[in-house]
Amino acid sequence: MTSSAGVPRFLAEGDAALARSTELVLARTIVAGFTSDDPAAVDHRDRTLAFVDAHPDALHRSCVEGHLTGSALVVDARTERILLLFHAKIRRWLQPGGHADGDANLPAVALKEATEETGISGLRVHPTPIDIDIHRVRARDETDHDHHDIRFLVVAPDDAEVVTNHESEGARWVTLADLADLADLEPDAGTLRMAHSGLALLRAL
């Protein structure tokens, strides 16, 4: 199924459009295609493009200054609830996501990470980013570095059952109101921006 602009609405695991690619130019094209009315998101896009242009190894963790990651706003389309996971290492409620590890097909990265971290079968990803965020990662076993996180809308099937893996200690379906009102979720500005953008896209499709 495609939108009126000819962009596929959603892609599922196994779709040819989600095939792995090692061509950094593909990742750059995906990033460059992101548009937003939010100045912070636009700034993160432009900084990410500059980073990719300066780092031919931007898809790999071996790029010690930073690297590209893909993450997923997993949504129950019927209720517009968002799935958050309690990250075991970072100790925060976050969306599923992870390193590109050489794969330039960033929607595929987001879908793969969402499937692995939530255990939900039948997830589908929209191929256009809903947000781009740059955040500093500080860990005891790594040099401080930036994650240039490209974020995508992922829709869960009806009555999806969540089975988290070792990376998470819990899962919660939350509403936008919960993000604003529940103190223990502690969403940052990027999480809120991503949630609003993803739900706006969902309603427009």
Instruction: Dump pLDDT digits (tens) for 12-68.
Output: 999 999 999 999 999 999 999 999 999 999 999 999 999 999 999 999 999 999 999
Q: Average pLDDT in the 91-114 region?
A: 95
**CATH number of the domain bearing residue 143:** 3.90.79.10
Does residue 4 form part of some domain? no
Does residue 6 form part of some domain? no
Domain hosting 62: range is: 11-204
Closest CA to 18 of 132, 153, 101, 109: 109
Residue 93 has pLDDT above 50, yes or no: yes
31's tokens: 């990033």
Our count of domains for the chain comes to: 1
154's tokens: 């992922």
pTM, entire model? 0.93
- Residue 176's Cβ-side half-sphere holds a number of Cα atoms within 13 Å equal to 11
Q: How many CB atoms lie within 10 A of CB 146?
A: 17
Q: Which amino acid is at 126?
A: H
Q: Please state the φ and ψ torsions of residue 150, each to the nearest 5 degrees.
A: -100, 125
Does residue 105 form part of some domain? yes
**Which of 56-65, 145-154, 173-182 is the least confident region?**
173-182
Does residue 3 form part of some domain? no
Residue 99 pLDDT: 95
Does residue 2 form part of some domain? no
Give how far Cα 53 sits from Cα of 27, 66, 167, 204, Å.
11, 13, 31, 33
Does residue 94 form part of some domain? yes
Does residue 71 form part of some domain? yes
Does residue 117 form part of some domain? yes
Burial per residue of 60-87, b for 16 or more beta-carbon CB atoms within 10 angstroms, e otherwise = beebeebbbbbbbbbbbbeeebbbbbbb
8 Å CB contact between 49 and 29: no
